[in-house]
Amino acid sequence: MSCSAAHEMHELVHEAARPAVPGERVGAAIARAAKVLGLPYARARAHWYRLARQVTAEEADTLRARRRQLMIERAQQLEHEAAALRARYSQQDAA
C-alpha cells in the first residue's frame, strides 16, 4: 500500500468520526466511524492509527463511495438546518 493510500484511509476514518463529541474517548470515535463506514472496529482502528498493512482496491473504493454518500447526507442536513434558520429569522422579522 502506498503512503498516499494509507494517508487517505486514515483521513477517511477520521472524517467519518466527525463531528467530534466533547469529552468522548478515542475508542468511541473509532467505533462511530466503524459503524458509519460499515467496517469492523478492528479495521477502523487499524486505519485510525495507520496500522493497516494493506488495503485492497475493493476496500478503498467501498470506503470512498461511503465517504461520498456521507458528504451528500451531511450537505442535505446542513441545507435543511439552514432553511429552518431562514424560516425562523423571517418569522422574527415579520413580528
- Predicted confidence (pLDDT) per residue in 37-80, tens digit: 999 999 999 999 999 989 999 999 999 999 999 999 999 999 99
Give yes or no for a contact between 72 and 64, defined as CB atoms under 8 angstroms apart.
no
pTM: 0.80
CA 89 – CA 67 distance, rounded (Å): 33
Neighbours of 44 (CB within 10 A): 27
Task: Give 58's Cβ-side CA count (13 Å radius).
Answer: 0
CA 41 – CA 44 distance, rounded (Å): 5
Instruction: With a cut of 60, say whether residue 15 has pLDDT above it.
Output: yes
Beta carbons within 8 Å of 55's beta carbon, 6+ residues apart: 1, 5, 6, 9
